[in-house]
Structures are given as structure tokens and as C-alpha cells.
Amino acid sequence: MNRQKSFQNEQGAALYLVPTPIGNRNEISKRVLDTLNLVDVIACEDTRNSGQLLKTLDIHKPLIAHHEYNTQQSIPGILKLLDQGKKIAIISDAGYPLISDPGSGLVQAVIEQDIPVISLSGPNAALNALVASGLSTQHYLYYGFLDAKSTKRKKELFALKDFPYTMIFYEAPHRIEATLSDVLEVFGNRKIVLARELTKIHEEYIRGTVQEVLEICGELKGEMVVVIEGNTTSETQSLEEIVTKALELVQEGMKPKQAAGQACQNSAYSKNEVYQEMLKAKQ
């Protein structure tokens, strides 16, 4: 067990997880500015990119690179600085560090050293897209990027096919068409929202079905988040509706047990439950 009182020793070492804007530079909070001014060192994904942002904010601190290809060197270096009592902020190119961005190995290593890890509130593309999507926000899954290869991507989608809650994905514009084709094939034609260029001048939400969005997504540019409705079939289909569907299949020539099996797919009911109800309906 590890209990962290974040603000008990404000003089000591700490790792601050600092979100930066996903587009609109005004989304830098006072606390983010205060923290970046407070820390001794800023660890960032790309020192050139973050250097430019920090310059516009008039923040001049030593930067160290911490990205997915140098963690074996950067994590020990950062731990050494923390061990000397230094305060360190980690930022990524945009939004939250660790969210489809580097930082999780560092956070785990710092927690193991019993050094406070303190997160600040701020921008995140997934949450912006979710809350304006119009899809259910009660429960949701943040998935991040699907695999770039279609075979692996479809496997990932198959694993999510019955997931009943809203799902949020990140995708690159050059892959969006291929990804939505796979979504259509595996999930079927569900409700979907493509949120593009969030917080920027060309921000756009495209709300429709997978098929509708697929028809136009080839022309779309910029950064995008894809929000997809969960599988609502099992929740909304009653046993009565499933039995009706099975009986229709029988009328079309299918054997009763096979019809029960097909009709109960993606539902909360078993083939046998449906079959027993079909027998009752016939009496």
C-alpha cells in the first residue's frame, strides 16, 4: 500500500503531470503556468515543440527529452534529479501526458520511490469529443489508437463488439477511411461522431452513422477523435422481440434451433431460452 499526501511537504521533490493545450493556447490555466514556473526541470516529448510553447509563455527552464524511444535513459536521469529534491514537470506535445503519450513508466517508477505524483486538470481531446458527441456519457471506454494494420485492428474491434458503453478512439487522418470500414464490418452501422480539430478554428463535429461518416471521411484532414455508440442490442432487445425475429426466420425456412441461435446473437438471452419461448408461442 502507498498513501500519498500531495501537499504535506511542498518543499520536497515531486513529479507534476501537466496538461498542455490541444489546439487553443488560451487553455493554459493559471495553475499550469504557476507549476511550470515552480519546477526545476521540464521533461517533454519533443524539446523543440515544447520549447516553442514554453517560449510563448515566457517560461525558461531546462528541458529534458522523455519519449517512447529513450525511457531507459530518461527515467533513471529523472529519478536521480527527484532524489536530489528537485521538482519536475512532465508535459507532452498536446493534452495530457500518459494519455496516448509517454509517461506511464515514469509515473510507476516515481511512485515506487515514494515521491509524490501530482496531476493538474486540463485539456484532453478524448473528453472534449465525448462530452459534445451527444452519445451516452454515463459510462465510457477510452481506447486510444487502434492498431495500424487492418487484421490486428479487426481483432481489437471484435473484442469490443459487445461492449455496451460509448467508446473513444484516436485516429490519424490517413487511416480514418480504412478504420471506419473495419468498424462498419465488425460493429455494424452504429451511431458515430467524428470530432475534428478540437478547440481550433476549423473545429467540426460530424454526427451520423458509420456508413454516413465513412462516405465523406476520405476528404477530412486534421486531428480527429472517433466516438462510437456502444452495443445497445443486448440491452434494448426484449425476449419477446428476439422470439418474434426467430419465428420469422423459421417462416423463411430456417430450422427452429438454428433460428433461435441466430436471433439471440448480441442479446442477453441464450439459444435455449429463445427456443423454449418459441415452443410456447407455437402452442
Residue nearest to ligand SAM (CB): 95
Site string for ligand SAM, 94-123 (x = CB under 6 A): xxx--xxx----------------------
Residue 188 backbone class (left: φ over 0; alpha: ψ -120 to 50; beta: rest): left
Under a CB-based contact definition with an 8 Å cutoff, are residues 127 and 27 in contact? no
Q: Does 197 bind ligand SAM (CB under 6 A)?
A: yes
Per-residue HEC secondary structure of 86-154 comes to: CEEEEECCCECCCCCCCCHHHHHHHHHCCCCEEECCCCCHHHHHHHHHCCCCCCEEEEEECCCCHHHHH
3-state secondary structure of 38: helix
Q: Does 53 bind ligand SAM (CB under 6 A)?
A: no
Residue labelled with grid coordinates 473484442? 159
Q: Does 148 bind ligand SAM (CB under 6 A)?
A: no
Q: Does 199 bind ligand SAM (CB under 6 A)?
A: yes
Min dist CB 175 to ligand SAM, Å, is: 10
| Residues in region 151-180 near ligand SAM by CB under 6 A | 170-172
Q: Does 22 bind ligand SAM (CB under 6 A)?
A: yes
- In terms of DSSP bridges, do strands 224-228 and 166-171 run parallel, antiparallel, or are they unpaired? antiparallel
Segment (H or E) for 235: helix 233-236
Q: Which is nearer to ligand SAM, 175 or 245 (CB)?
A: 175
Q: Does 23 bind ligand SAM (CB under 6 A)?
A: yes
Instruction: Please state the φ and ψ torsions of residue 148, each to the nearest 5 degrees.
Output: -75, -25
Min dist CB 118 to ligand SAM, Å, is: 17
Single out the residue of 35, 74, 124, 231 in contact with ligand SAM (rule: CB under 6 A): 124
Q: Which is nearer to ligand SAM, 46 or 162 (CB)?
A: 46
Rounded to a whole number, what is the distance in angstroms from the first to the last CA of the chain?
A: 61
Q: Which is nearer to ligand SAM, 216 or 268 (CB)?
A: 216
Under a CB-based contact definition with an 8 Å cutoff, are residues 113 and 83 in contact? yes
Q: Does 91 bind ligand SAM (CB under 6 A)?
A: no
Dump the DSSP string for 154-212. HHHHHHHTT--SEEEEEE-GGGHHHHHHHHHHHH-S-EEEEEESTTSTT-EEEEEEHHH
Q: Which is nearer to ligand SAM, 23 or 261 (CB)?
A: 23
Min dist CB 158 to ligand SAM, Å, is: 22
Q: Which is nearer to ligand SAM, 86 or 175 (CB)?
A: 175
Interface residue list for ligand SAM (CB under 6 A): 22-23, 92, 94-96, 99-101, 124-126, 170-172, 195-200, 223-225
